[in-house]
Structures are given as C-alpha cells and as structure tokens.
Chains A and B, each alone.
Chain A
Amino acid sequence: MSESSTTSDMVLGGDASVTAAVVREELLRDYPAKTKKKREKQIVINDKQHGDDGSLQLPVVAANSRTVPGIISQRGCCYAGCKGVILGPTRDIVNIVHGPIGCSFYSWLTRRNQTHTPTDEHDNFMTYCFSTDMTEENIIFGGEKRLRQAIQEAYDLFHPKAIAVFSTCPVGLIGDDVHQISAEMKKQLGINVFAFSCEGYKGVSQSAGHHIANNQIFKHVIGEDDTQRSKWSINLLGEYNIGGDAFVIEDLLERCGIELVSTFSGNSTYDQFANAHMARLNTVMCHRSINYVADMIEKKYGTPWIKVNFIGANATAKSLRKIAEYFDDRQLTENVERVIGEEFPAVVEAQRKYRPRCTGKRAVLFVGGSRAHHYQELFSELGMETIAAGYEFAHRDDYEGRQVLPSIKIDADSRNIEELRVDADQDKFRESDRQQGIQREKQGYTLREYDGMMAEMKDQTLIIDDISHSEAERLIKMVRPDVFCAGIKEKYSVQKMGVPCKQLHNYDYGGPYAGFAGAINFYEEIDRMVNARIWSRVQPPWENGTPAADAISPLPISMEEPEESTNP
C-alpha cells in the first residue's frame, strides 16, 4: 500500500545519501529537548500513503502553532497581516495606525502592492502613512482622545469615503476602545469608520491578522452596495497585486468577458468590497488568507466558491477553464479558449528557450501561505523539481487539504481570533446562485476544493513549517539547491551561501509573475538566477591551490602583441 517503499531513496541533493530523513535529522540535531519536540512535528517527510480505497493519506504537519522564542523565524505579527497584507493594497481607505510610530512606518509602501487609479481625481492613500504616533503620556493616560482627534484631522484633510483604525500591541494592553471610538466617529462624520483589534501579539503569525481584517471587511463593508452584476461575474479572493499580478489577471478576465466585481485586495477600492456580494462566483487564489471569507459570503449570500491559481501557465489556463465550466456557457467557453490560444504560443516559445537551461535543477520554497505551493507549478514548467517546501504562516489544510478541517484542534492562540457566526441574509441571499452550485456539483463539478501542497509534491520530499534560520542554513549546506525562494530577511544570508534567493513576497522588485505573461517573466528570471556566471566566480582564482606559476586566468582572452604603430 505504501508507495514509499519504491521511492524512499528519493535524493534531495548532494550525494545519494542525502534523503529527507537524513536532512530532517540534521535539522533537528542540536535543538534543546523542548524545542526539538516542537520542531519534530513541523518538519515532516512527505510520506504519501494510499489507503485501500485509493485515498491519499498524508502525515500531519503541526502548522499554525506558536513559534519557539529565539529560534529566528520568518514570521511577522498579526498587525502585519491585517494592515500590511489585507488592507494595504486598498487605495481609497485612510488607514490610521493607533500606536507608536514604528508599526505604521514599517508597513509604509514596503509590500509592493501596485494600484491603478483611473485619474488624478480618484483617491489614492497608499503612498501615505498615518499614525497617532503615541507617546508615553498616551500609554499612561490612554490614547482615546488622541485617536478621536486623529480621525477628525484625517477627515478634514482628505475627506475619504472610509477610515480604518488599527490597534497595535500597547493599545490592546491599555484598553483603548477603538471600536467604540470608530462607531462614534462614523456617526459624527457620516462616513464609514471601523477598527481592527489586530495587536501584534494575537495569534501566532500574520495569519491571525488576515482573519481579523477579513472579518471586519465582511462585517462593515461587504453588502453595502447592491448594484447588479452580470451573469459571468466573479470576485478574486486572496490576490494582492504584488508586482502587478492583479493587472495581468484583470486583463485576462476582461478579454474572456468575465466581469471582475472585486479583488481582495490587490488594486482594490472600498466600493468594490461593498458590492462584492453581488458577484455570481467567488474564486479563491490564496486559500490561506481568505478561504473563510468565501465560506461566509456563501452562507450569507449564496455565492459558491472555487479554488483557482493564476501562478503558472497551465494553472492559469486550467483556472480560466474552470470558471467557464462553472457558468456552463458556450460563448464563454469559446472566449476562454480564444484567449488561451492567443497567449499560449509565447509561453511555449519561452519554455522552449528556458527549459533546457533549467531542467533538472532543484528549488526549495519557504514562503507565505500559498506561494510555496503555487510557485511549484512554475518551477515544474521549467523542468525543475521542488525538493523541500513549507509555509511561513499557513494552517494544516494548506498542507494536507481541506478534508482535515474538521479534525483541526482549536488551541489557545486560535481561540482568541474571532470566528463570525454567519446566517443567510433574508433579503440578499440569492437562491439561484446556490442552485447553480448544487446543479454543477451534481454534474461532477467540484466546489470548495483544495488538496493542499503535499498532495501535489513528490513522495519523500521534505516539508518544513515555519522554517528557522538554522534549519535553512543546514538544509542549504546539505542539499545545495539551485534556487531558494523566501523573503527579504532570508535573501542575503542565502545568497552569502552561494545560492541565489528569489523573494516570493515582493518578487525582488520584479514581476508580474501571474498569468501567461507573468509565467514568461518568471522563466526568464529563474534562468537568469540559476545560470548567472557570477556564482562560479565567487572563489578567487588564487585560492584554488594552484601554484602561482600555473594559475590561469578564469577567462583566457587571446592577447596578441600590440598593434603595429601607424606612425612611421
């Protein structure tokens, strides 16, 4: 029954002895007992077993659990997930951070969310950083008065359609009631004002902040505007327009004739959120950060949801077809096939060019809550293999698939993150959309499905959740991957080890990598990285042990005698 017996000698790199089990042991070797016990559950060999009924059995990954203090983690905080990730890309909400200056400063324009405003008359506050800049006096005597005043000043200067307030760590401790103040100011100013209790200490990672952000957007914004949308209208949930990804997807959808009502939250506006419940289908890109919003919208308004992925040319084509298939319309299917037909020749040409230069090379990915999975598609299109991967802040369902959801235990850290109770909206629930979903399911179409990262990875690869610096360093030393995908904190230490590091949070100021055009960009980028001449020049030519007399220049260039002088 086990397929591991045939593949247990899968080699991760270096010599044939470097299997996942050997690497795992080395990563855990020097930890103190308590730390080791914890990390053992988060470093897992992807031992894929098949049951008698053919079902896939995967090992459990203890994801979404506390980071061990002192370990040097990639993770950020709840606030970063809430303000930085989810609300950051929305251009026309004034986001006021209630706290000392740092939290607002560090999330100011650092995530490369691009936005496109049609004209200069349209609001764009993303270039601005707003903070109540709390000082000691506010910590001692409370900051409510200051927050109220800051909201007023923001309104007077900018007249936005909405103001959002974000609580930072000390605000939670001193007990400023940000929600009450927001409600009062909403009444007073006549615009939407709402708050997020996203103190940095909540949860165990950014993921808690995503949840808090999405809950509040669901409570305070979605459902405000009932403008009707077309029969092929969708929302794109969990796409954050890093490096212009959303622009590429928007263009593809438009050419297919699919109406994009809202994106959560790349290149988004307040009004798009307000109208999101009127779309006929939700498509979920980053399962981790937003699958629960898709669930809540479905419960309240009846909109079914599907998982999509626009990272990778094949995945993009598959996702477009899946959307068309849902609406089950001949014209739409034709549109989608036409667009895929228009885009694919360039993809094939790029693959022909770059694949021979990349085939057989090995990648490892430690990033995000979906990217470490999605980007494996692009590597496989280049003929590259992913030998180890893990998320920074994902949950078990993102590794093992949604079927494990009922068995996930709620721990003390998760319990503090509000789960909204959602019922069908008496007036706005669309039974016809629900029926369409049921109808499609009867015909074999799958809704709400996500099998997670491990099902798609090879047997006996290595899964590392919330990787530490020490683990990353040991992994690199043992397997010498050809490319390491992570974020800015890892980038330069990885590169110092002689391995190119691709940032998959912010794309190293490159991108877009979504859709067909993005895939081509990515192929070129990876070819550049894994084949750059400079990596073979790190060692000085005089340090290879050759006697000075025999040392040759690394780039022999024929040197003739000087040109004959033209002077007589």
Chain B
Amino acid sequence: MTLLRHTQGGEITERQALTINPAKTCQPIGAMYAALGIHRCLPHSHGSQGCCSYHRSTLSRHYKEPVMAATSSFTEGSSVFGGQSNLLQAIENIFTIYQPDVIAVHTTCLSETIGDDIPQIAEKASEKGLIPEGKRVIHASTPSYVGAAPTGFANMTAGMVKYFSQSTSPNKVAGRVNVIPGWVEPADMREIKRIVAAMGLESIVFPDTSDVLDCPQTGVHEMFPKGGVTVEQLRAAGDSAATIALGPVCSGPAAVELTNKCGVPHATLPLPIGLEATDRFILELRKHNGGIVPQEITDERGRLIDLITDMHQYFYNKTAALWGDPDQLVSLSELLLTVDILPKYVVTGTPGKKFLRQMGDVLQDRKSEVQVRQGTGADLFLMHQWIKNEKVDLLIGNTYGKYISRDEGIPLVRHGFPILDRVGHQFFPTVGYRGAIRLLEQILEALMQLQDVECSEERFELTM
C-alpha cells in the first residue's frame, strides 16, 4: 500500500493554479515566531481566531512548548465594519490580564483585505489609555497572500527595528555587533550567541527564541520566560558597530532598516549552516574583533573537517532532494556539495527574486545536474514526481517528507519547519561547525541505517 498512491512519474504537466502538498506556509506564522523572540512580548494575530489557533498549534507541535498568542477573533460583523473595536478590546484585555511589555500585532489576509490600519488603531488605543505607561504595541503587515512564512518572520523582525532601534550617538559601540539569526531553532540562536561570545564580541541577537521555546520544566509556567531580546537591547541595536544578517530572506530587511534608520552598517550572509557558510560568518565576525579567531573555534572547524575527510566515501556521489525555506536551502545545498552529495532536487514555495541566483552561485558547474523550482507549482507533489522519474538517496526537509520517504524507501533527515513527529531539533543546533557535525552525523546515520536494513546477509558488516 502506498500513502501517496496518486502521485505518478512520467510526463509532468505544468500546473497553473493548483498547489499540491506545499513547500511553504503563510506569512503570519513567521511573524508570530519572530515576535516570540522578544522578551515579555505577546504576539497578536489580527484576524479570524482560526489563524492564531493554527499557528499556535503548529509552533507548539514543532517545539513541544507552550506558544502564547492572542487573536482579535473577527466575526462576520468585524469583517464588514473593520476590526478596530476587536483590536482595541484585545489590547485592553491583554494588558490587563497577561501584562506583557509588548504586544506584537501581525495582520492576516482578512484584516489586510479589509484594510485595517494597525498604527492608527494603536494610536487610538493609546489615546483611550489602554496602553499602560512604558508598554508598547508594535506591528508588522503580513497578508497571507503575499510572500510566505520566512517573509512574515522578516517583516516582524524589521518591525522591531522600526519601532525600537535608536541611534543615540554618531559613535557606534566598538566590539558590539547585532546578529539577526533568521528563522532557525532556539538551539541555533543559543549557538550563534556562543560563537559570537567565543570570538570576543558583545552581541545583540534578535529575535532570540532561546529560553523561550526551549524552557526547562520547573513546575511553573512562565507566561513570559526569561529569554528573548529585550526592548532595551532592541533600542541599543541602533548604536552597535555593525549588523550581521544571517539569511537574506529572513534577516535582510531588518538589517537594511537598521542601516537606513540608525546608520549601522550591515553585512548579509547565508545562514551559517555548513563549513563554508560558517567560515564566512567567522570571517565577518573577525572584522570586528581585531582579526582573532580563538583556538576553540579553530578546533571545532578541525573536528568538522576531520569528520568529512574520514567519512567522505559514504557521502560521495549520493543524491538528495531538499525542500523548505530559501535561506536554509542555499546553505544546505552548499554543505551537501562540500561532502560531495548532489542536491539533485531543490524546491521552495517561498517567492523571492534572489533565490535562484544564489542557488546558481552554490551549484556552479553542477547546475545542469540539478532541478531547482521556486514559487507556484514548486511543491512536494512536483518533487515526488521528479523522484518517481529518477530516485535520490536522501530526503532533507520537514516532517511532510515522511510520506514520500515511506512510499519510496528513501531515508528522511528532518530539517526545517515544521518537524511534528520528532524531538532534537530544538535542542541541538545545526548552525556553526558543531551544527554541521550534527547534520552530517544525522545524514550518515540515515544512509548507514538504510544500508544495514537493506543489504544482503553476506554484506552485513560490523565495522565501517
């Protein structure tokens, strides 16, 4: 029996209007995730209550953590007359009942189609005295019919700069960099902070979901856990010496905003997943610390290289199919090529002009061996059709790949969002040299496990 029994190979007809098994989801969930990375912030979804419910459920299933967020609970009436009274009431309730420092409002397809003006409503709330002294309501515009989850993350992150960051002096604080980590796991944000600290630099990382979505069990539920970038830090980001934006889609807009608003120069790098991408990150940090790379970091790099040189034979000439968010896919593809695995099929539903060019930069002379698809029709159904026509050795992507994995007998390494059926991703980083070791270990485990299950008895071996 097959789970995706209606998916066939052969001649593939282009679809104009129907997306099947998407390799993306909508903007607001990215905005909600980003807002959770502000200390003492309650994300708020301005739309029907289903949006908020779906986003909280999906984030909770992925992180296995409470995801607190509120909604304007639109009814048919609000859809006709606008959602102002709903948002005003929500603001009053949230500040009275839950007492966050910040409410981060993101819009939805519904409130955007109606045309609700969030800053104007927030202004009104302020006039009516619904926003207590020192508390803030910020917002990002994230209609679901534009962009995808990563751009929602980007818009909310840029919103943090717009609302909070200030340049208080033309002299920037030497030795302090802002790092915008992109849509990565809490463990990755923690690892990025560790790397920057190891490089001897002070950092402001935003958003920062470590200690928010990987909280210890203490017997107490903290509505606002200890993690998250503080409003004070976001303000101070305008005085940092530089900004490093990791991942152009998720982090680029906030970095540009910070340059424009506060004159903080920025560098946009690929997500530091894999050897070369981490090298670039270290080199960028090195520009700000006097050129030093501590032995600790050099050793981590060395251990990664050691793993690759020792295990190269198992990676060599394998092929993989990848799907997910553009920033992730560019760096993952590069890592795979580093170990001589070909990222044969690469699919993202997230739009954005630079992705194909970046993939070209990564693939270089192997472009002709690879199929890359983006936007409408770039979905898991298409990727599965490609696989039906020519199989790959490995799948790398979110949980939805498990159906293809089972039908086709191809091992799946879970990476990206959402991972609904496993743990690990929230605890163990995949960024940095140590993260690359974890990713390669997972890939190796998948390949070796398949070999052990599938090989004949006489070829079953004890050692590698």
Do A and B pair up? The answer is yes
1/0 per residue, CB under 8 A from A, across B8-50: the answer is 0000010111111110111011000000000000001001111
- For A539, the chain B residues whose CB sits under 8 A away are 219
- A307 contacts chain B at the CB level, 8 A cutoff: no
What is the bound-complex CA distance between A71 and B68, given in angstroms? 11
Q: Are A99 and B50 in contact (CB under 8 A)?
A: no
Which of these, A101, A493, A494, contacts B19 with CB under 8 Å? A101
* Stretch binding the partner chain, chosen from B92-100, B304-312, B314-322: B92-100
Residue picked from B64, B73, B94, B403, most chain A C-beta under 10 Å: B73
What is the bound-complex CA distance between A34 and B89, given in angstroms? 9
Q: Are A496 and B218 in contact (CB under 8 A)?
A: yes
Residue picked from A173, A495, A496, most chain B C-beta under 10 Å: A496
Q: Are B79 and A201 in contact (CB under 8 A)?
A: yes
Q: Are A470 and B97 in contact (CB under 8 A)?
A: yes
Q: Are B6 and A77 in contact (CB under 8 A)?
A: no
- B151 contacts chain A at the CB level, 8 A cutoff: no
- A157 contacts chain B at the CB level, 8 A cutoff: yes
- For A133, the chain B residues whose CB sits under 8 A away are 19, 22, 349, 376
Give 10 nearest A-B pairs by CB, closest first: A77-B50, A102-B26, A70-B90, A200-B48, A70-B93, A100-B144, A493-B66, A106-B54, A149-B17, A69-B90
Q: With A170-B110, A489-B60 as given contacts, are A204 and B18 in contact (CB-CB < 8 Å)?
A: no
Q: Smallest distance from the beta carbon of A115 to chain B beta carbons, Å?
A: 11
Q: Are B68 and A493 in contact (CB under 8 A)?
A: yes
Q: Are B144 and A102 in contact (CB under 8 A)?
A: yes
Interface residues of B (CB under 8 A from A): 1-6, 13, 15-22, 24-26, 28-29, 44, 47-51, 53-58, 60-61, 64-79, 86-87, 89-94, 96-98, 108-110, 113-114, 143-146, 148, 215, 217-223, 349, 376, 381, 400, 403, 420
Q: With A173-B110, A497-B219 as given contacts, are A131 and B75 in contact (CB-CB < 8 Å)?
A: no
Q: Smallest distance from the beta carbon of B305 to chain A beta carbons, Å?
A: 39
Give 15 A-B pairs besides A127-B403, A173-B79 with Cβ atoms closer than 8 angstroms.
A30-B96, A69-B86, A70-B89, A70-B92, A76-B50, A78-B50, A102-B54, A128-B20, A132-B18, A135-B146, A157-B13, A489-B60, A489-B67, A496-B221, A538-B219
- For A106, the chain B residues whose CB sits under 8 A away are 25, 54-55, 57-58
Q: Are B44 and A70 in contact (CB under 8 A)?
A: yes
- For A128, the chain B residues whose CB sits under 8 A away are 4, 6, 20-21, 381
Q: Smallest distance from the beta carbon of B419 to chain A beta carbons, Å?
A: 13
1/0 per residue, CB under 8 A from B, across A71-98: the answer is 1111111111000000000000000100
Q: List, sorted by A's number, 19 A–B pairs whose CB atoms are closer than 8 Å.
A: A34-B89, A67-B49, A67-B73, A78-B48, A104-B19, A108-B21, A109-B400, A124-B3, A128-B6, A169-B108, A170-B110, A201-B48, A413-B76, A413-B77, A473-B223, A487-B57, A488-B60, A489-B60, A496-B217
Q: Which residue of A lies closest to B78 (CB)?
A: A201
Q: Are B73 and A68 in contact (CB under 8 A)?
A: yes
- A281 contacts chain B at the CB level, 8 A cutoff: no
- For A96, the chain B residues whose CB sits under 8 A away are 18
Q: Are A75 and B53 in contact (CB under 8 A)?
A: yes
What is the bound-complex CA distance between A493 and B215, given in angstroms? 11
1/0 per residue, CB under 8 A from B, across A412-439: the answer is 1100100000000000000000000000
Q: Are A69 and B72 in contact (CB under 8 A)?
A: yes
- For A445, the chain B residues whose CB sits under 8 A away are none
- For B71, the chain A residues whose CB sits under 8 A away are 69-70, 73
- For A491, the chain B residues whose CB sits under 8 A away are 60
Q: Smallest distance from the beta carbon of B5 to chain A beta carbons, Å?
A: 5
Tell me the total A-B contact number using a CB cutoff of 8 A: 268
- For B108, the chain A residues whose CB sits under 8 A away are 169
What is the bound-complex CA distance between A119 and B94, given in angstroms? 52
| A side interface size, CB within 8 A | 93
- For B25, the chain A residues whose CB sits under 8 A away are 101-102, 105-106
- A129 contacts chain B at the CB level, 8 A cutoff: yes
- For B222, the chain A residues whose CB sits under 8 A away are 496
Contacting residues of chain A (43-75) with chain B, CB-CB under 8 angstroms: 66-75
Q: Smallest distance from the beta carbon of A566 to chain B beta carbons, Å?
A: 28
- For B15, the chain A residues whose CB sits under 8 A away are 153
Q: Are B48 and A77 in contact (CB under 8 A)?
A: yes
- A120 contacts chain B at the CB level, 8 A cutoff: yes
Q: Smallest distance from the beta carbon of B126 to chain A beta carbons, Å?
A: 16
- For A156, the chain B residues whose CB sits under 8 A away are 13
- For B78, the chain A residues whose CB sits under 8 A away are 201
Q: Are A153 and B17 in contact (CB under 8 A)?
A: yes
What is the bound-complex CA distance between A97 and B255, given in angstroms? 36
- A325 contacts chain B at the CB level, 8 A cutoff: no
- For B50, the chain A residues whose CB sits under 8 A away are 76-80, 103, 200
- A383 contacts chain B at the CB level, 8 A cutoff: no
Q: Which residue of A lies closest to B63 (CB)?
A: A492
1/0 per residue, CB under 8 A from B, across A175-203: the answer is 00000000000000000000000011111
What is the bound-complex CA distance between A102 and B152, given in angstroms? 12
Contacting residues of chain A (235-250) with chain B, CB-CB under 8 angstroms: none
- A376 contacts chain B at the CB level, 8 A cutoff: no
Q: Smallest distance from the beta carbon of A95 to chain B beta carbons, Å?
A: 12
- A444 contacts chain B at the CB level, 8 A cutoff: no
- For B69, the chain A residues whose CB sits under 8 A away are 72
- A359 contacts chain B at the CB level, 8 A cutoff: no
Contacting residues of chain A (441-476) with chain B, CB-CB under 8 angstroms: 468-470, 473
Q: Are B221 and A73 in contact (CB under 8 A)?
A: no
Q: Smallest distance from the beta carbon of B389 to chain A beta carbons, Å?
A: 16
Q: With A101-B25, A101-B148, A473-B221 as given contacts, are A172 and B93 in contact (CB-CB < 8 Å)?
A: no
Q: Smallest distance from the beta carbon of A272 to chain B beta carbons, Å?
A: 20
Q: Which residue of B lies closest to A119 (CB)?
A: B1
1/0 per residue, CB under 8 A from B, across A371-404: the answer is 0000000000000000000000000000000000
Q: Which residue of B lies closest to A107 (CB)?
A: B54
- For B220, the chain A residues whose CB sits under 8 A away are 496-498
What is the bound-complex CA distance between A491 and B56, given in angstroms? 11
What is the bound-complex CA distance between A172 and B76, given in angstroms? 10
- For B66, the chain A residues whose CB sits under 8 A away are 492-493, 496
What is the bound-complex CA distance between A34 and B96, given in angstroms? 12
Contacting residues of chain A (134-149) with chain B, CB-CB under 8 angstroms: 134-136, 138-139, 146-147, 149
Q: Smallest distance from the beta carbon of A419 to chain B beta carbons, Å?
A: 16
Which of these, B3, B49, B148, contacts A75 with CB under 8 Å? B49
- For B420, the chain A residues whose CB sits under 8 A away are 110
- For B89, the chain A residues whose CB sits under 8 A away are 34-35, 68-70
- A31 contacts chain B at the CB level, 8 A cutoff: yes
- For B75, the chain A residues whose CB sits under 8 A away are 66, 201-204, 413
- For A125, the chain B residues whose CB sits under 8 A away are 6
- A130 contacts chain B at the CB level, 8 A cutoff: yes
What is the bound-complex CA distance between A104 and B18, given in angstroms? 12
Q: Are B1 and A117 in contact (CB under 8 A)?
A: yes
Q: With A149-B17, A413-B75 as given contacts, are A101 and B48 in contact (CB-CB < 8 Å)?
A: no
- For A34, the chain B residues whose CB sits under 8 A away are 89
What is the bound-complex CA distance between A494 and B113, given in angstroms? 36
- For B51, the chain A residues whose CB sits under 8 A away are 77, 102, 200
- A174 contacts chain B at the CB level, 8 A cutoff: yes
Q: Smallest distance from the beta carbon of B425 to chain A beta carbons, Å?
A: 16
- A150 contacts chain B at the CB level, 8 A cutoff: yes
Which of these, B2, B24, B93, B110, contacts A201 with CB under 8 Å? B110
- For A73, the chain B residues whose CB sits under 8 A away are 49, 71, 73
Contacting residues of chain A (143-167) with chain B, CB-CB under 8 angstroms: 146-147, 149-150, 153-154, 156-158
Q: Are A489 and B93 in contact (CB under 8 A)?
A: no
Q: Smallest distance from the beta carbon of A170 to chain B beta carbons, Å?
A: 5
Residue picked from A68, A133, A136, A138, most chain B C-beta under 10 Å: A133
- For A495, the chain B residues whose CB sits under 8 A away are 217
